[in-house]
Amino acid sequence: MIEAHRIRVARGDYTILEVQLADAIELLVGRRLQTLSESRAAGDPYRRG
């Protein structure tokens, strides 16, 4: 909730909205998960090379 609050304040919103909660969750998960990939986007599992 504190991350959602920080996002809310930074955006100047009056209340915490679902979008701030979603962004906070994405931020927290991104910090927790380590990866060798620079991109957090889904990749094509059938792409070779």
Res 32: pLDDT:
77
Res 15: pLDDT:
93
Res 49: pLDDT:
56
Dihedral class, residue 44 (left if φ above 0, else alpha if ψ from -120 to 50, else beta): beta
* Cα atoms found within 13 Å of the Cα of residue 16, Cβ hemisphere only: 12
The token pair at 27 is: 């931020």
Res 14: pLDDT:
93
Rounded to two decimals, the pTM is: 0.61
Per-residue pLDDT of the chain (49 residues; tens, 9 = 90+): 889 999 999 999 999 999 999 999 988 887 776 666 676 677 777 877 5
